[in-house]
Amino acid sequence: MPPDAQPDIQTLAIVGVGLIGGSIGLAAKRRGLARRVLGVGRQQRSLDEALAVGAIDEGFLQPKDAVPRANLVVFCTPVDLIVEQVVSLAPVCAAGTLLTDAGSTKAQIVHGIEGRLPHGVAFVGSHPLAGSEKHGPRFADAELFQGRLTLVTPTARTERRAVDRVSDFWRSLGSRVKELSPEDHDRALALTSHLPHLLASALSGVLPPELHELAATGFRDTTRVAAGDPSLWTGIFVQNRAAVLAALDMLLGRLHSFQDAIDRDDRFALDTLLAQAKRNRDALGT
Amino acid sequence: MPPDAQPDIQTLAIVGVGLIGGSIGLAAKRRGLARRVLGVGRQQRSLDEALAVGAIDEGFLQPKDAVPRANLVVFCTPVDLIVEQVVSLAPVCAAGTLLTDAGSTKAQIVHGIEGRLPHGVAFVGSHPLAGSEKHGPRFADAELFQGRLTLVTPTARTERRAVDRVSDFWRSLGSRVKELSPEDHDRALALTSHLPHLLASALSGVLPPELHELAATGFRDTTRVAAGDPSLWTGIFVQNRAAVLAALDMLLGRLHSFQDAIDRDDRFALDTLLAQAKRNRDALGT
């Protein structure tokens, strides 16, 4: 933002000041996007941490004390809480308030909210593809969204102006933005994010303690995301059940191809499977 | 080594100057462990790269031109070539020459060599748990073994003095050393290294090109090792067939537990599976 421009947002409220919520607050404050950033948390300790790192200007234990003052509210809470929070808080919002979220699933959230908001209050689903296995506002990073992709998931019923405002918000945090339907989002993320988490957790789970010292870089990289918060991921798997099961089926099919090839000592089949995997991985970059 | 001490090894030969072989050469030269380091490669380009980074003093396309001059020979070639190379080169070695390797499998190598060497030439199986998905001597790193673990795999028939000398060699490169039987090594590595590679490759292989842009940090971490050299890994899977299949069975069982829990919307079961995986992963550190 040029130094003489006015912040676009008078008051930004962030419900859930963890790694993502804290990073949004920090990025918004550093970039001068909001005059005031209000944080809502369930625990005073999280609010204190968010205040300490400068991610929020004021902390609230009760969403109702913060949300009515905001022009833009971002819900950064576990996916299975978002619908209820949005629907119950929308009636206390001022007319013109824009609501969005940062949840890892979209269809249940977007359709659970659609048609249930008062006139003048709009919700647009979002999912910034950023984060880490760490959690808590003390890991907040003002550059977390820089160069990353945020998926914005309107439906045919979502107001165009609200979509554009939400997209502009993520862009102003440094993110690129792509629009997808909530269903396309969920099918894609089942494969690119939820399945990797499931696999990493399955692999981590079968490692007996006596082999910990033999787990080198390869094991550590492959299981890194399994350090994520179990309850968050339970919510994600349950909300995106059908797409996750379909992705897992596809993966099981591939694992059985590996199993067959090893069982039959079929070097050609193994080479082919491994070479295709390498091409895909090389195409992603580091 | 204190500055006035003499190098322990007059001449070190490294057969296969890739990332591991090149790093051994570089580490040995930097630490003054060998008076002379000879590199053997199949391609002049690899030898030139190894010479350019200072990993070797002389390069050879024919092992027979280098190996007879060495007191210690380390085979850093693909696992399915090591037995044949060791057995065919041992007769040209001087009496007292010590042979070892850096292969990721041990039972087939160690038992394939045992009893087939001339008197006065000893082989001890080794596996340094270091490396990366990169390959080639240009990625050689003198500190690659620093603080890492090298597994040394004697059998009841391996001379104690040879085991100690090989262990001392790895320690002098900065590594810690642990002894395991070849069979225990292979069962352990099936779970800690070969299975992660298989999983990463299966996951990478099912990602359709149109979803590449949606693959963020989690997917990248989980699939990183799939960028490894397919032909090396085909050899590893084939050589460690039984243990890899057993590890894969265990993993498939765990994946089916996840599948059942998601299918039944069983949050408690999911939470339990994810929490156990997180405890294991947290115990490993970063």
Tokens of B48: 């030139």
Residue percentage of chain B with pLDDT more than 90: 94
Q: Which of B130, B193, B202 sits opposite A251 (nearest CB)?
A: B202
> Measured between beta carbons, which residues in chain A are less than 8 angstroms from residue B201?
258, 273-274, 277-278
Q: What is the pLDDT of residues B102-123, one digit of tens each?
A: 999 999 999 999 999 999 999 9
Q: Phi and psi (nearest 5°) for B73?
A: -120, 125
CA distance A197 to B54: 41
> Measured between beta carbons, which residues in chain B are less than 8 angstroms from residue A267?
234, 238
> Measured between beta carbons, which residues in chain A are less than 8 angstroms from residue B238?
262, 265, 267, 270
Mutation target vs B (from A198, A245, A272; most B CBs, 10 A cutoff):
A198
Residues A29-38 have a mean pLDDT of 95
Indicate yes or no: CB of B193 within 8 angstroms of CB of A216. yes
Mutation target vs A (from B187, B240, B241, B284; most A CBs, 10 A cutoff):
B284
Decide if B234 contacts A270 (C-beta within 8 A).
yes
Closest CA to B283 of A232, A208, A137, A139: A208
> Measured between beta carbons, which residues in chain A are less than 8 angstroms from residue B251?
202-203, 206, 255
Residues A237-255 have a mean pLDDT of 98
Query: Which residue of chain A comes nearest to B277, CA vs CA?
Result: A205
Q: Which of B219, B262, B283 sits opposite A196 (nearest CB)?
A: B219
pLDDT band for position A261 (cuts 50, 70, 90): very high
Residue percentage of chain A with pLDDT more than 70: 97
Mutation target vs A (from B176, B191, B204, B248; most A CBs, 10 A cutoff):
B204
Q: Which of B200, B254, B255 sits opposite A222 (nearest CB)?
A: B200
Size of interface A-B (CB pairs under 8 A): 291
Decide if B41 contacts B156 (C-beta within 8 A).
no
pTM above 0.95, yes or no: no
Please report the pLDDT score of residue A28 as a whole number.
96
Decide if A138 contacts A159 (C-beta within 8 A).
no
Residues B245-252 have a mean pLDDT of 98
Tokens of B111: 């038992």
Indicate yes or no: CB of B198 within 8 angstroms of CB of A244. no
Residue percentage of chain A with pLDDT more than 90: 94
Indicate yes or no: CB of A276 within 8 angstroms of CB of B250. no
Assess whether pLDDT exceeds 60 at residue B3.
Answer: no
Indicate yes or no: CB of A274 within 8 angstroms of CB of B221. no
Decide if A115 contacts A157 (C-beta within 8 A).
yes
The interface predicted TM-score (ipTM) is 0.93
Mutation target vs A (from B139, B192, B238, B282; most A CBs, 10 A cutoff):
B192
Please report the pLDDT score of residue B2 as a whole number.
45
DSSP string, B55-112: S-SEEESSHHHHGGG-SEEEE-S-HHHHHHHHHHHGGGSPTT-EEEE--S--HHHHHH
Torsion angle, alpha carbons of B29, B34, B37, B38, to 10? -160
| Angle made by CA atoms B279, B282, B283, in degrees to the nearest 5 | 85
Closest CA to A167 of A72, A91, A67: A72
Indicate yes or no: CB of B281 within 8 angstroms of CB of A204. yes
Query: Which residue of chain A comes nearest to B270, CA vs CA?
Result: A234
Q: What is the pLDDT of residues B56-102, one digit of tens each?
A: 999 999 999 999 999 999 999 999 999 999 999 999 999 999 999 99
> Measured between beta carbons, which residues in chain B are less than 8 angstroms from residue A230?
270-271, 274-275, 277-278
Indicate yes or no: CB of B230 within 8 angstroms of CB of A283. no
The answer for residues whose C-beta is within 8 angstroms of residue B28's C-beta and 6 or more apart is B9, B12, B34, B37, B173
Indicate yes or no: CB of B200 within 8 angstroms of CB of A271. no
Please report the pLDDT score of residue A2 as a whole number.
44
CA distance A16 to A76: 5
